[in-house]
Structure 1
Amino acid sequence: MTKTIMLQGTGSDVGKTVLVAGLCRLMSNRGVRVAPFKPQNMSNNAAVSDDGGEIGRAQWLQSMAARIPSSVHMNPVLLKPQSETGSQIIVQGKVAGQARGRDYQALKPKLMGAVMESFEAVCAGRDLLVVEGAGSPAEINLRAGDIANMGFAASASVPVVLVGDIDRGGVIASLVGTHTILPEEDRRMIAGYIINKFRGDVSLFDDGIKAVHGFTGWPCFGVVPWLKAAGRLPAEDSVVLEKLTRGGGKALKVAVPVLSRIANFDDLDPLAAEPEVDLVFVRAGESIPADAGLVIIPGSKATIADLADFRAQAWDRDLQAHVRRGGHVIGICGGYQMLGARVADPHGIEGNIREIEGLGLLSVETQMEPEKTVRNSQARSAIYDVPLEGYEIHLGRTIGPDCVRPAVIIDGRADGAVSADGRVSGTYLHGLFTSDAYRAALLNSFGIEAGGQNYRQSVDRALDDVAAELEAVLDPRWLDSLMP
């Protein structure tokens, strides 16, 4: 019988994703047949699973940690925000519709069947399932029909470990407060808690552990320090972009406008790891730096809305000035669509705006189409003639004169476009910079030598490092209890 444990947080961004990944790798290193599972995720950072559907990239990373193929069943419900109030709903890898927040609350109970079906599918043949919650179980206003936290835990009879983030402060209050407001039946599901992101002398929290136990009776399964290796892993949520600061003094500055509905921003992680690259995320209200050598327009969940916002930030003028100075531009997926002359949406897929003028840096036009392209792809750079491996997740078809100069060849077909002067290019292929050969060729075109690292191997080593750190600080009796 498959053992299960569910990590829920006292709030969002407490580090559940990394802890689940670390536990998956730790148990895999012990020879346990382990798998990750997240009933409901909300993220525009999506991946194409090995069985061909959309899941959160966090679950893709966690499957890598577990050393198993990824599956749509590891994240049966994925919400991809398209506006402040509504999201696209992906169920078991496929688009199932759209819903506003209030409408989705009414829809949730109908999705529990798919969640439980996927749960059983992932459990099959596994010794251990490590489940990740979403947000916090303390959001009791959302408890009715819940499929993400205690609603799932109760339905599947999965014991819960609470994760508290001490770095943000108030961790004792957040743990005790969660205990206080949970109904008794949910409180009984909690087996203990983990303190995460601790800095300094762990013994200073000994009295804190006693205090939490006095209020709740819960055991502490470990105090996890700030995991340095976690910084080498792809981040799940765009909230991390708000915490990044500018570097300086490096050979190439790469500027990335942070679109309001930015998607798949982990495309940029391999560039951020390059020692001679200063990756600058340009936030709302800021200008694209004039000394940038390359501007990358990333993916977007709502191309038309983000294109309108791009102009509202005056980034279109910054980008035109960048190109006049001889700068280079790369657009990925939605960013590629923005670079063209026009984006049309005759079916109203993205909203009420049926057509918008593009940035005009590529002689192409895009028309949104109802059918979504979702696939893993083998490719080759038509610019540098080096192998690529990535994935496509997009709506729309892009055509025009500049497509005679494709950026990449995907599974034998031309994709993307390159301007006549070669300084502006776009493609639908995500994962472009993950190719060590492509990254090296790109940097060489700027007169820079790449760092020579194998990016995928560096992520794998980071997972091992996180696992080793967790094994050193988590309660060994608790870890042993998870063994088959």
Structure 2
Amino acid sequence: MAKRIMLQGTGSDVGKTVLVAGLCRLMANRGVKVAPFKPQNMSNNAAVSDDGGEIGRAQWLQSMAARVPSSVHMNPVLLKPQSETGSQVVVQGKVAGQARGRDYQALKPKLMGAVLESFEQVSRGRDLVIVEGAGSPAEINLRAGDIANMGFATRAGVPVVLVGDIDRGGVMASLVGTHTILTDDDRRMISGYIINKFRGDVTLFDAGIDAIRGFTGWPCFGVVPWLRSAKRLPAEDSVVLERLTRANGRALKVAVPVLSRIANFDDLDPLAAEPEVDLVFVPAGEPIPDDAGLVIIPGSKATISDLADVRANGWDRDLQAHVRRGGHVIGICGGYQMLGQCVRDPHGIEGNVAELAGLGLLAVETEMAPEKTVRNSSARSAVFDVVLEGYEIHLGRTTGPDCASPMVLIDGRADGAVSPDGRVSGTYLHGLFASDAYRAALLKSFGIEAGGQNYRQSVDTALDDVAVELEAVLDPGWLDGLMP
């Protein structure tokens, strides 16, 4: 039977995703048959797995790190927030319905069977499965029916390593506090802990390690510094958008309005890596910079709601002025839908708004439909005539005069639209900027030379570099214990 270990955090955004990815690559490089698993993920950054369903983008990256095909079973429950209180529920890659927060708490125990089934599927034929928790086991108000942390660990018999983020402060209190409030059964599942995101001289924390052991009895499996290579990996959580740096005065400024339900924003990572591109995320309440050469409207999990927010922020007026100045706009998926004349939702899929006027920058209209398109796609840019690879995850069908000039051809099928003047375009295809040839052609249209990097290779190299950094700081005895 495969060995199993689970990384749980003392809170959200402590770095579990990168640590699991790094450990998967470290073990794969040692010849271990390893796979990632996350029982429950809440994210609008989704991917299409190799077996054709939706999973969290983080588990797709972790499967890449493990050098194994991605599967819906690596993330059997995916929650995609649509409002402040409700989410779409995806089970083993397929939409199972919608649930408000309180309703989902009642639904969770019914999902444990699917979670355990998927865990066994992922474990089959593996030497090691590395599991990522969600949130924190210290959220004891959610412990009943839990499938994401200790509820899963105790049911599946998986030992737990706690991850604490020292950069945010209070890491000793968070570890000791977690020990204090857990039940005896849950506490027994924890085999040790890792300190993450340390800055400076690690020996200064020796006394802290002694103190934590005195309170908890847990060993420390390593103090991990800020991983230099991690910034070259796609980010999963939109919380990172709040911390991105502002413009640096490069040749092309690309502005991205931060939608309330922004989805698949890792589409933009390849542009951010370009040396001559300033990728500026525009938060709510701030105008779109008038010196931007390109504005990208990203994907959205709630197109109609986010379209209303675009107007509330005044971004509709900013976009009209941007186009009048000769600026360009690209809409991806939900962003493409917003660029049209209207968005209709006759079946109430997104809520109780049946129709909302679009931004009017493309002569197209969108109607939401219950059937969801989820597929990996081979494509070609109709504008630049270069090969693309990407994926589609969307509800709705978009039609209209501007579709006669498609932005891309997906498996030979016309997709998207381009305005008659060529300045506004949109597509349902995610991942187009990851195409080195497309990205180079796009930047060349603005008079800029691309950096020449192979983006996908750069991510793979970053995973190797993260693995090397982790191997240097994690306890070698603990790492050896994970080997078959």
Q: Match of 2:141?
A: 141
Q: Match of 1:71?
A: 71
Matched, 1:284 2:288: no
Q: Quote how far apart the aligned CAs of 1:249 are.
A: 1.5
Q: CA RMSD in A?
A: 0.3
- In structure 1, what is the Cα distance between the partners aligned to 2:177 and 2:228? 29
- In structure 2, what is the Cα distance between the partners aligned to 1:291 and 1:204? 46
How high is the TM-score relative to the length of structure 1? 1.00
Q: Match of 2:351?
A: 351
| Structure 2 residue matching 1:136: 3-state secondary structure | coil
- In structure 2, what is the Cα distance between the partners aligned to 1:306 and 1:223? 41
| Structure 2 residue matching 1:456: 3-state secondary structure | helix
Q: Quote how far apart the aligned CAs of 1:248 are.
A: 1.8
- In structure 2, what is the Cα distance between the partners aligned to 1:190 and 1:116? 20
Letter in 2 for 1:67: R
Show the 5 A alignment for 1:3-402.
3-402=3-402
Unaligned regions of 5+ residues in structure 2, if any?
Answer: none
Q: Quote how far apart the aligned CAs of 1:117 are.
A: 0.2
Letter in 2 for 1:389: E
- In structure 1, what is the Cα distance between the partners aligned to 2:317 and 2:412? 36
| Structure 1 residue matching 2:229: 3-state secondary structure | helix
- In structure 1, what is the Cα distance between the partners aligned to 2:163 and 2:243? 21
- In structure 1, what is the Cα distance between the partners aligned to 2:343 and 2:97? 22
- In structure 1, what is the Cα distance between the partners aligned to 2:383 and 2:172? 55
Maintained 8 Å contact 2:258/2:281: yes
Matched, 1:481 2:451: no
Q: Quote how far apart the aligned CAs of 1:397 are.
A: 0.1
Maintained 8 Å contact 2:49/2:71: yes
| Structure 2 residue matching 1:162: 3-state secondary structure | strand
- In structure 2, what is the Cα distance between the partners aligned to 1:144 and 1:391? 37
- In structure 1, what is the Cα distance between the partners aligned to 2:413 and 2:222? 52
Q: Quote how far apart the aligned CAs of 1:318 are.
A: 0.3
Aligned residues: 484
- In structure 2, what is the Cα distance between the partners aligned to 1:155 and 1:34? 21
Letter in 1 for 2:354: R
- In structure 2, what is the Cα distance between the partners aligned to 1:354 and 1:248? 42
Letter in 1 for 2:316: D
- In structure 2, what is the Cα distance between the partners aligned to 1:100 and 1:405? 40
Letter in 2 for 1:222: G
Report Cα offsets for 1:319-348 as digits up to 9, x if no partner: 000000000000000000000000000000
- In structure 2, what is the Cα distance between the partners aligned to 1:16 and 1:315? 35
Q: Match of 1:423?
A: 423
Unaligned regions of 5+ residues in structure 1, if any?
Answer: none
- In structure 2, what is the Cα distance between the partners aligned to 1:388 and 1:379? 5
Report Cα offsets for 1:257-298 as digits up to 9, x if no partner: 000000000000000000000000000110000000000000
- In structure 1, what is the Cα distance between the partners aligned to 2:117 and 2:243? 37
- In structure 2, what is the Cα distance between the partners aligned to 1:407 and 1:161? 47
| Structure 2 residue matching 1:433: 3-state secondary structure | helix
- In structure 2, what is the Cα distance between the partners aligned to 1:267 and 1:235? 10
Letter in 2 for 1:159: P
- In structure 1, what is the Cα distance between the partners aligned to 2:243 and 2:152? 32
| Structure 2 residue matching 1:62: 3-state secondary structure | helix
Q: Quote how far apart the aligned CAs of 1:238 are.
A: 0.3
Q: Quote how far apart the aligned CAs of 1:149 are.
A: 0.1
- In structure 1, what is the Cα distance between the partners aligned to 2:256 and 2:387? 24
- In structure 2, what is the Cα distance between the partners aligned to 1:246 and 1:461? 26
User: Structure 1 segments of 4 or more deviating over 2 A?
Assistant: none
- In structure 1, what is the Cα distance between the partners aligned to 2:163 and 2:460? 24
- In structure 1, what is the Cα distance between the partners aligned to 2:73 and 2:164? 27
Q: Quote how far apart the aligned CAs of 1:247 are.
A: 2.4
- In structure 2, what is the Cα distance between the partners aligned to 1:402 and 1:236? 33
Report Cα offsets for 1:295-321 as digits up to 9, x if no partner: 000000000000000000000000000
Letter in 2 for 1:73: H
| Structure 2 residue matching 1:463: 3-state secondary structure | helix
Show the 5 A alignment for 1:403-442.
403-442=403-442
Letter in 1 for 2:138: A
| Structure 1 residue matching 2:383: 3-state secondary structure | coil
Q: Quote how far apart the aligned CAs of 1:245 are.
A: 1.6
Letter in 2 for 1:145: G
| Structure 1 residue matching 2:130: 3-state secondary structure | strand
- In structure 2, what is the Cα distance between the partners aligned to 1:422 and 1:360? 15
Q: Quote how far apart the aligned CAs of 1:132 are.
A: 0.1
How high is the TM-score relative to the length of structure 2? 1.00
Report Cα offsets for 1:67-106 as digits up to 9, x if no partner: 0000000000000000000000000000000000000000
- In structure 1, what is the Cα distance between the partners aligned to 2:212 and 2:118? 35
Letter in 1 for 2:446: F
Letter in 2 for 1:409: L
Q: Quote how far apart the aligned CAs of 1:216 are.
A: 0.1
Q: Quote how far apart the aligned CAs of 1:201 are.
A: 0.3
Letter in 2 for 1:166: I
- In structure 2, what is the Cα distance between the partners aligned to 1:139 and 1:184? 15
- In structure 1, what is the Cα distance between the partners aligned to 2:53 and 2:249? 42
Letter in 1 for 2:10: T
- In structure 2, what is the Cα distance between the partners aligned to 1:346 and 1:25? 46
Maintained 8 Å contact 2:247/2:253: no
